Amino acid sequence: MLQPKRVKYRRPHSLRWEGLSKAGNTVAFGDYGLQATEGNYVSDRQIEAARVVLNNFTKRTGKVWIRIFPHMAKTKKPAEVRMGSGKGAPEFWVAVVKKNRVMFEIGGVDAKDAQEALRLAGYKLPVKTKVIKKEGGK
């Protein structure tokens, strides 16, 4: 699973996913990209599941770029614990995805396969997505 090697704060405050993505909203590396049409937290396990779908569908031809990284730890308190006594322990890592963020890109495969692979990978994510093409491309 993806996670940072080290962080400044172990238990961060939550970041909001409302609003539009300030950067990373165009296809920069590949030919096709998977763009979020709403915001949400995407966990490290969901990112990995989408990556596996992309690699398996394309039979590992071409190249896949992951444009998001889970920098933020989400905490949870154990079950049946009374209120108070501080914040819970970090449980998993999430990437904060805002609207219009390009999360995955794919290149080096034919257009039909790239679009189908990205569509299938979108099912693994908790955000609604759409497949976009590189501007001024081939």
CA neighbor of 58 nearest in space, from 14, 101, 119: 119
Mean pLDDT of 40-48: 97
> Side chain identity at 96, as an amino acid letter?
V
Percent of the chain at pLDDT exceeding 70: 99
The answer, yes or no, to whether residue 136 has pLDDT greater than 80, is: no
Range of 38's domain?
32-77+88-133
- Is 24 a member of any domain? no
Give strand pairing partners of 105.
33, 65
The answer, yes or no, to whether residue 8 has pLDDT greater than 70, is: yes
- The distance of Cα 11 from the centroid of its chain, to the nearest Å, equals 20
CATH number at residue 67: 3.90.1170.10
Average pLDDT, the chain: 94
The answer to pTM > 0.85 is yes
Residue 90 neighbours by CB under 8 Å, 6+ apart: 10, 11, 73, 74, 75
Element (DSSP H or E) covering residue 66: strand 63-66
- Is 16 a member of any domain? no
